[in-house]
């Protein structure tokens, strides 16, 4: 299956080795638990979560999972990201090291709060 043909996250996960698929599913479950009611979509050929706008994206690669919580999501947790390779809007979690699910949870919750605040501000 071409990555451009992916219609949903189940198809996305199915395209990976079972070991990587399990990690993807756990990242997915972590995001969904931290953002109840978020819409799960495929955007830019990767899983994305929307709630009052985009919250986060993630994607699996050969050696890492890329997590994309926007630049504000990175900035708010910068001090906790030192063990990981990161840039302005992305973090790389290596597949040969434990995935920091609790950190992912906190970042997603931060993004939910941030998006809700943004909506409240625009309604005033």
Domain ranges of the chain: 3-116
Q: How far apart are CA 36 and CA 34, in angstroms?
A: 6
- Local confidence band at 40 (pLDDT 50, 70, 90 cut-offs): very high
- Local confidence band at 1 (pLDDT 50, 70, 90 cut-offs): very low
Structure tokens at 26: 């756990």
| pLDDT beyond 90 at 5 | no
Give the distance, in angstroms, between the CA of residue 34 and the centroid of all CA atoms in the same chain.
11
The HSE-up count of residue 90 (CA atoms within 13 Å, CB side) is 12
| pLDDT beyond 90 at 66 | yes
CATH fit for domain 3-116, picks 3.90.78.10, 3.90.1150.200, 1.10.1200.10, 3.30.420.40:
3.90.1150.200
Q: How far apart are CA 74 and CA 86, in angstroms?
A: 8
- Local confidence band at 119 (pLDDT 50, 70, 90 cut-offs): confident
Q: What is the pLDDT of residue 3?
A: 53
Q: What is the pLDDT of residue 88?
A: 92
């Amino acid at each position: 299956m071409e990555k451009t043909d992916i219609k949903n996250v189940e198809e996305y996960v199915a395209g990976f080795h079972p070991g990587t698929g399990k990690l993807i599913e756990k990242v997915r479950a972590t995001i969904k638990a931290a953002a109840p009611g978020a819409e799960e979509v495929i955007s830019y050929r990767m899983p994305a979560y929307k709630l009052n706008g985009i919250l986060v994206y993630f994607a699996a690669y050969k050696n890492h999972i890329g997590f994309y919580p926007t630049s504000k999501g990175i900035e708010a947790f910068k001090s906790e990201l030192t063990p990981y390779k990161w840039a302005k809007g992305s973090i790389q979690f290596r597949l040969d090291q434990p995935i920091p699910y609790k950190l992912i949870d906190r970042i997603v919750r931060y993004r939910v709060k941030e998006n809700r605040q943004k909506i409240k501000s625009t309604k005033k």
